[in-house]
Structures are given as C-alpha cells and as structure tokens.
Amino acid sequence: MSRRAVLPDARRRAVTAVLGRQWGRPPARAVGAAYAPANVALVKYWGKRDEVLNLPNTDSLSLSLGPLGTWTSIRPSDRDRFRMNGRCLAANDPACTRLRAYLDLFRGPECPAFEVESRNTVPTAAGVASSASAYASIAIALDMLFGWRLAPGELSVLARLGSGSAARSIALGFVRWRRGRRSDGLDSRAEPLSATWPGLRVGLWMVRRGAKAVGSREAMRRCGRTSPLYAAWPATVAADLREVLAALRARDLERLGTAAEGNALAMHATMIAARPPVIYWTGATLRALAEVAALRREGVAVWATMDAGPNLKLLFEVREERALRERIPALRIVDPWDVRDAGAGGAEMPGVE
C-alpha cells in the first residue's frame, strides 16, 4: 500500500481540491526555494474546530516579522533527506516525522521523495512562530518546484495543513486568516490586507530561549477542553478584531496596542485557567511586562503581545526606537515589510520583488 493511500482522507481531499489536475505532475524545475516570514498575531488563533485540517475556532489577524522567518529549498530525491539549520534530522526526530507526514500529501510517481533544506532565523519551538514560517516556506517552495502558480489564498490552505498559523505567513504585512464555515476547510484561508504602516516596528524581546515544555497543539487542546475561561474566547476575539481593524484604518497605535496586548493576555489567561494549567510565563516574562507598562507611564508609546511562549513582541513606531534600544539593549527591532536582511539570496516570495 502506498504512503499516500493511508493519509487522512480530509487532508488528501483538501490538497487535491486545491491542486486539481496538477496533483502528481512532474517537477517543473530542479529545485524550489522560498522564504516566508514568521508572524506575530495581533488577534490570536487559539483553538481548533478541526484538528486534522487545522481549522480555527475564530478569525485571527497577524503582522509579519519581515527578515525573521525561514528559508527552505526542496528538490526531488531518491529518498527523503531533511536538514534543519545545517543539521540532518534523524528519522525518529519529531520534526522529521511531522515534515514527512506533510510531504506525503505531495508525493507522486514523478517525485516519490524530497530533499529539504531549511534554515530558521528565529528560535525553534520557543513561541516565536517558527513552525508558521517553516511550513509557509515549504508550501511556497513546493509551488515553485512543481510550477503550480497558486494564488496566495490557495497557498495558505496548503500551508495550514502543516501548521495552522502558517496560513498567515504566506505574505508580508498585515494578514487576516478567516475561520471559514465549510467542513472541508477550503474557505479557511488567509488574505493579505491592503493596510500598510511604514513607521510601525516590532521588537522581539527574548527572555528565554529553547523549546517550550508544552507544545501549542497540546496547550490549545487542553484549554478548549478544560479551561472555564475558554467559552468567552470567541467573543473576545470578535471584539478585539473590530478594534484592530479600526486601528489599522486610522493608524492609531494606542488603539492597536491596547487591543493586541489585551488579546494576548486574555489568551494566556485561558491557559492559566486550564487543568492542569499551561503557564509559559517566567519571572523574566513578568518583569518584562512590568517594564513595558513602566515605559508607557514615562511617555514611551509601546505595547506588548505574546504568542504561546515566554517571549515578548513589542509594538511601537520608529520614533521610539532610540528610547527602547537604550532601555532594552537586547531588543531585536524589525521592519515587518523589509526582507532584505533575511539572510539568504536567490529565493522568492509571492508579492516580494
């Protein structure tokens, strides 16, 4: 029996629905190479209505992290070979198992195996959306390899099958991932927003490196099943999404920052209330949050958000850079729309020259 024959039917149907007659075609070039940015969700994705297809319970909205993301190259091979950050992955490595299962969706007679080389410019499994950029870059690289020429929305569907938040890493800038209503997930896709904000910056404040003890998938599952606060989460998201969209239209940083910070804290509250609790915060996290609040009291317009991990992402405008660099020397400041410093040439990304 072929590997493809034992794939979950829902995932197989999703891929063939997107690719149609293009599934199984021979590669159009020798290698596909692509970059995708990590993203920080301003309105979070937290909880799934379908775990196989990674379908979310709510809409979400993110901002890309520009040069922080993943470069991936993919080429046909006689057997699977996976390298991440220069290291060959062992066959029993969980990352290898997950990647192999994802690539099973695209194997065909003309391409039974793949050689994959990936390099992250963000820490892996530390709550900085490394899986989002990884699977988005893989989906884009596959599109280049096979010459499918998919639209961004179609790419987001394929990326989502590898990692939910990868749906939002298929474009730069602000991206909205719509929940969708269909059971097959084909309307659950991300779309870039037309809104731009040239002076907006994101600061990555790493208070702890290394993999998290509880992965996001398990944390989501635990919250949905056991947290008494989770029932209020969809309404919280709907209200925060309206606020963020209004803030983007007006370029109102205070409105944007207040909504994003509140949404992140509400998400972490659902985790803390889960049984057993999921607590990503450390003492350093609490001190960093207190420092952000102190900076605001001193007149520095800065707000914090956090994904499923202990590290902070700060939202501010370029005029605050000097004050923040002086106060937080370790802060990594990025321009969300600039990938010139992403660190590997020769790859492409839809919509990026």
DSSP letter string, 234-257? HHHHHHHHHHHHHHHHHT-HHHHH
- What is the rounded CA–CA span in Å between residue 283 and residue 319? 29
pLDDT of residue 5: 40
Structural contact between residues 47 and 217, judged by C-beta atoms closer than 8 angstroms: no
- The tokens describing 4, both together, are 């493809």
Rounded mean pLDDT of the chain?
Answer: 91
First-to-last alpha carbon distance for the chain, in angstroms, is: 43
Confidence of residue 213 (pLDDT cuts 50, 70, 90): confident
pLDDT of residue 306: 96
- What is the rounded CA–CA span in Å between residue 85 and residue 108? 27
Structural contact between residues 211 and 126, judged by C-beta atoms closer than 8 angstroms: yes
- What is the rounded CA–CA span in Å between residue 257 and residue 252? 9
- What is the rounded CA–CA span in Å between residue 241 and residue 176? 10
Quick one: CATH architecture of 200-334? 2-Layer Sandwich (3.30)
pTM beyond cutoff 0.85: yes
Tens digit of pLDDT for each residue in 16-58? 999 999 999 999 999 999 999 999 999 999 999 999 999 999 9
209 or 287: which leads in pLDDT: 287
pLDDT of residue 348: 44
Confidence of residue 352 (pLDDT cuts 50, 70, 90): very low
Q: Which sign does the torsion angle of CA 338, 247, 155, 311 carry?
A: positive
Mean pLDDT of 277-306: 97
Mean pLDDT of 108-117: 93
Q: Is 275 helix (H, G, I), strand (E, B) or coil?
A: coil
Structural contact between residues 160 and 185, judged by C-beta atoms closer than 8 angstroms: yes
**Domain 4-192 - what CATH class?**
alpha beta
- What is the rounded CA–CA span in Å between residue 63 and residue 70? 16
pLDDT of residue 340: 79
Mean pLDDT of 147-170: 97
200-205 β-sheet, strand order: 303-305, 312-317, 200-205, 332-334
Q: What are the angstrom distances between the C-alpha of 164 and each of 7, 132, 135, 177, 280?
A: 18, 7, 9, 10, 20
Confidence of residue 166 (pLDDT cuts 50, 70, 90): very high
CA neighbours closer than 13 Å in the CB half-sphere of residue 102: 27
pLDDT of residue 343: 56
Structural contact between residues 138 and 72, judged by C-beta atoms closer than 8 angstroms: yes
Q: How many CB atoms lie within 10 A of CB 22?
A: 13
Mean pLDDT of 56-85: 95
pLDDT of residue 109: 87
pLDDT of residue 350: 42
Q: Cis peptide before 192, with omega less than 30 degrees from 0?
A: no
Q: Which residue has the tokens 């299962």?
A: 101
Mean pLDDT of 269-275: 98
**DSSP category for residue 72:** E
Q: Is 74 helix (H, G, I), strand (E, B) or coil?
A: strand
Domain ranges of the chain: 4-192, 200-334
pLDDT of residue 333: 95
pLDDT of residue 196: 94
pLDDT of residue 6: 41
- What is the rounded CA–CA span in Å between residue 257 and residue 348? 31
Confidence of residue 339 (pLDDT cuts 50, 70, 90): confident
Is 7 a residue whose pLDDT tops 70?
Answer: no
- The tokens describing 190, both together, are 């991300």
